[in-house]
Structure 1
Amino acid sequence: MSSTYNTTPAPARRTELLLVGALLLLAGTLRMGWPAATEFKADEARLYALALDAATGAGLPLRGIGTSVGFPNFPLSVWLYALPLWVWPHPYSAVLFTGALNTLAVAACWWLARRVWGAEAALLAALLYAASPWAIIYSRKLWAQNLLPLFVMGWAASGLLAFWEQRRSWLAAHIVLLAAALQLHYSGAALALPTLCALALSYKTFDRRALLLGAGLSLGLMLPFFVYLATNPAVWSAPAAFSQPAQLDAKALQYTALIASGADIHALAGAEAVGAFQQRMPLAAWLPWLSGALLCAAFAAAWLHPTRPRSLLWWLAGWWLAPLVLFTWHATDVFPHYFITTLPAPFLLAGAALGSWLAAAPARMRSLAWSGCAAVAALQIIAWASLLQFVSVTSTPGGFGTPAGMQLAAVTSAKALARSAQLPEILVVSDGADPLTAEDAAVFDAWLRGSAHRLVNGTANAVRPANGAVVLVTGNAAPAQELYAGWAVQTQRVPLRAGAGFITVYALPAGSSDRAALQPFAEPRTLANGVTLLGLQRIAADLQWRIVWQTGAPGNQDFHFFNHLLLADGTRVAQADAAAFSALQWRAADEVHSFFAASSADAAAITQLRVGMYTYPDLANVPVVDALSNPQTDAATSAWPQAITP
């Protein structure tokens, strides 16, 4: 392939360097500024936890977090995020690392365009990339695919050196960077299409040894993940989405245009709040048309004033459109972030085309063109800044998540209260207790790494430690929150965004709750696993109740409760089973309040409740034992309260 480049006239070197520095400062500010305003949700928290394990020596993960189709990711993103976390083990460290790599991607965009088409084309490409709303959005949080742009730019730059400058040894780096992009996100596979095209066009001249070296290094980088797959065959059965019928639609075309033009950034406001944002920033609806018109003008300029090397422009176009080819016919759901790999191809194309056209344009036209590009970039930045401010203070269900700064404020409040009240641990009470399935559990488990804490599903349990605790309760933890409010001796509220309520932090003293209102269980009431059933209480007019019990010794066995509601003659008319508070998190003398509900046409005639436990998933009953640990029966019994006690 030809290496003859068409360079545009360069401004004075000092002026150029000042402009490049200003652009990188702008790009870095937009990508790394205000880290407290980033979102930190389940995927981010799980990736952070794995990377922190790698950074602290707790273990080198052989896989990344799971994908939307159930198949695990490669571990490369975990290893990369371990680098900043080794220096500063805090979520903001990973957020700033992401922004820094994406700022370097802007610098790499400038370098590539400068090398091929000259200073003016490079400045144009870098300006459009630095100000691109989706490029900014996808560089501001801890997310595996947000690491892609720098590696994609490395892939493109090494392709330029290997195929167009005939520096054939760079082919090895090109192949390794292609493999790295694939490992960061499976959408990186799209980059293989332009690579294969370049190899086909240069099949007589490319270095076979460099190709084999790159392939060998890539396989070596992938080997740990392959070991994981070989030793965990069950993961192959997880991605049920692969069995879905393939479909042909225009989503890929829509998302390709969206990423390039900055369209639909209002989607981050969520369906409920999008109208309010659009009223605040009506200009955002026009920006895609302005930026789209600018890109169309650039491509028209390329057509009217040919830009060279032509083959490189076609290759850049292939890079931009490769994900469109890959995802137009698809068997899994397609999302906008699958098209991060297109960045910054459209801006390089626009910079090259406009730069070549401006080289022959009169001074007045050059000034007008630069003013137009700068105006579009400024308006995009204003729209993005308005969106950031909006989602930082307004609840956006289904859109942008709770800003990390607000989560950190709640965690800081909980830690400070634990220190001042000399309480030994923090309980996180939300709508789940498993970080692998519950978002709030994953998020606060990550924020509290290094601090003594436990996770409680407040929709199922309220745990009262014998030695007291600080309790951080999210807004989705009913009915446990009512109990914690009654037990607390100190309460703090951390406000969230408008319409999202607050996170409540309670201080619980040592001791137990008042058991006078409980209907006690008859002896024997201790189970073989050490659990003691203390009593029950009806909590609503229908069949809703809570069982109060004391934990046994912790272990790794899962237990479930069964509740049998009986008539006077022993007939069972209703049953409620549910998972018990995890035995992994039991502590000595914990008092647990577990909530149950059932329905029955004979509710008014119920006279007795039988409660027991069984192991899960093997469904083996845990016997009730006497004082000498001899098995007596399979359940403890209590009279069913006919009245609701407060």
Structure 2
Amino acid sequence: MGSLFGRGITAVASQVRRRPGWSLALAGALLCGALLRLAWVRDMEYKGDEIWTFERTQQVEHGGPFPWFGMPNSVQVPHPGMSIWVYLALGKLWGVTEPPQLARASQVVDIAAIVLVVIFALACVPAAEREPWLWAAALVSVNPLAVLFHRKIWPPSILPIFSLGMLFGWWYRDRRWGAFLWGLLGAVLAQVHPSGLFFVAGFAAWAFCFDRKRVAWLPWFAGSCLGGITLIPWLWYVLGVMKTGGVSARHWVHIVEMKFWARWVLEPFGISLSYSLGNDFGDFLRYPLVNGWPTYLVGVLHGVVLAAAVILLGRWAYQLWQDRRRWPELWVGRQSPTAFTQNACLWGFGLVFTASLLPMHRPYMIITFPLMFLWLARLALASSGALGRPLLTTLCVAHLLISASFLGYIHVNQRAIDGDYGLPYGAQTRSQKSEVRGQKSAPLVPSLPDWSLTSDF
């Protein structure tokens, strides 16, 4: 593995020498992505999940009980403990005493994950397949939804670094150390967020069905067992919950909704900020304002993205029809390691999760990092000919401007946003400070139950 790291550094230097213009553009996209994640940290979301996460880091720091479980999900079943332990570790390393510091730590980890995509592409991916990975890093850097999610302090936001680590092991699954790492980090990933259970199962099922002879299964199993030891308290608890009625969120209707694949196709285009803004999305489209007058630049940028999406998806559908005799091969992804990895997520993870009958919430797609964006890049480069790179460049520029406008919109509108965003943290603190001194202000979001081992066993 040490040699792979050295190879990555060498490959980066070689890439800069051979293609300085492209390398400069990619570095610019990565830099913009970092700035978007780090800007105006006090404008962060701060609601129930964020409050719960930050409060636990402070409770443990001040001698409170160690949380063996994470925060409760929508059906009041707690996440595995690893979902809060990673934030306890970040809080300790960064000396966190207030929420923006914890958000900053999480943002830096996600920025590192994007940089590692580039290193992985240059060091591990065959040269003929490398370009889509580099485009994926550029796209995820500036994508509005990726920026939104990477600025939060909740379990899904910390997933990218673990997802990429698991993919690194998966890439070398024919070697004992690679299979072991795949199993180990897969088990850890499943504990950071429950969607990881289905993600790991999807990849394992895909490898077993279509590549079983190449996989070092015993090291994979050993790594999975070692990484799964810390999951035992959570499994014990969940078994008790299932005995009393199970998880109520499971419904047959989720199979026909096909939300996983709808989100897979739409999320990389970054046109879903209405999820965060709600009824304020229409107002956002009017921005930026010049002397109080709307320019509708954000609306125009969304139109550009939609036009690019229609062109890319239309040409892709046409190319797919032309290649209909190759559908079985294309579905598996036998044509390349990159295609096989992408399809293990697109079909392996997608089918396993859909079969669970659970709802596919938008944040669950974060775990696919960076494969949704890799899919978009491969689609554009393979099916759009000479238009592929210009369209990807157009998307990157439009996404950068939309993301910057979104952050600016939140910054100048320090109020409760109608959608999922809520009241920014900075506005909350100013509201609390403005109250009469000596009076304890009512909490904006009630404290959630303490899922500690002592209280639940």
Q: How does 1:50-449 map to 2 (within 5 A)?
A: 50-86=56-92, 87-114=95-122, 115-118=124-127, 120-162=131-173, 166-191=174-199, 192-226=201-235, 233=240, 237=244, 241-242=248-249, 247=254, 248-271=256-279, 273-280=280-287, 281-283=298-300, 285-286=302-303, 287-291=305-309, 293-294=311-312, 310-328=336-354, 331-351=357-377, 365=386, 369-392=388-411, 393=413, 395-412=416-433, 426-429=439-442, 434-436=446-448
What is the TM-score with the length of structure 1 in the denominator? 0.56
Mapped to 2, the partners of 1:215 and 1:21 lie a distance apart of 36
Distance of aligned partners of 1:370 and 1:63 in 2 relative to their CA distance in 1, 3 Å threshold: same
Mapped to 2, the partners of 1:57 and 1:128 lie a distance apart of 42
Mapped to 1, the partners of 2:334 and 2:118 lie a distance apart of 17
Mapped to 2, the partners of 1:134 and 1:370 lie a distance apart of 22
Deviations 1:275-318 (A, max 9, x none): 322344323542244246446667988998x9995243133123
Distance of aligned partners of 1:401 and 1:235 in 2 relative to their CA distance in 1, 3 Å threshold: farther
- Cα RMSD over matched residues? 3.5
In structure 2, the residue matched to 1:22 is 28
- Alignment of 1:12 with 2:17, yes or no, is yes
Distance of aligned partners of 1:50 and 1:203 in 2 relative to their CA distance in 1, 3 Å threshold: same
The answer to whether the 8 A contact 2:81-2:234 is kept is yes
Shift in Å, 1:143: 1.1
Deviations 1:547-586 (A, max 9, x none): xxxxxxxxxxxxxxxxxxxxxxxxxxxxxxxxxxxxxxxx
In structure 2, the residue matched to 1:38 is 44
The SS at the match of 2:417 is: coil
The answer to whether the 8 A contact 1:102-1:150 is kept is yes
Shift in Å, 1:412: 5.0
Shift in Å, 1:328: 3.9
The answer to whether the 8 A contact 1:40-1:403 is kept is yes
Stretches of structure 1 lacking an aligned partner (at least 5 in a row): 1-6, 443-646
Distance of aligned partners of 1:292 and 1:28 in 2 relative to their CA distance in 1, 3 Å threshold: farther
The SS at the match of 2:442 is: strand
Mapped to 2, the partners of 1:349 and 1:179 lie a distance apart of 25
Greater CA drift, 286-295 or 30-39:
286-295
Greater CA drift, 65-74 or 260-269:
260-269
Stretches of structure 2 lacking an aligned partner (at least 5 in a row): 1-10, 288-297, 324-329, 451-457
Comparing both structures, which one devotes a greater share of its residues to helix?
Answer: 2
Structure with higher Rg: it is: 1
Mapped to 1, the partners of 2:82 and 2:392 lie a distance apart of 37
Comparing both structures, which one devotes a greater share of its residues to strand?
Answer: 1
The answer to whether the 8 A contact 1:38-1:140 is kept is yes
Shift in Å, 1:105: 2.0
The SS at the match of 2:176 is: coil
What is the TM-score with the length of structure 2 in the denominator? 0.77
Distance of aligned partners of 1:39 and 1:251 in 2 relative to their CA distance in 1, 3 Å threshold: same
Amino acid paired to 2:34: G
Identity across the alignment (%): 20
The answer to whether the 8 A contact 1:253-1:324 is kept is yes
The answer to whether the 8 A contact 1:269-1:391 is kept is no
The answer to whether the 8 A contact 1:121-1:356 is kept is no
The SS at the match of 1:436 is: coil
Greater CA drift, 313-322 or 145-154:
313-322
The answer to whether the 8 A contact 1:38-1:141 is kept is yes
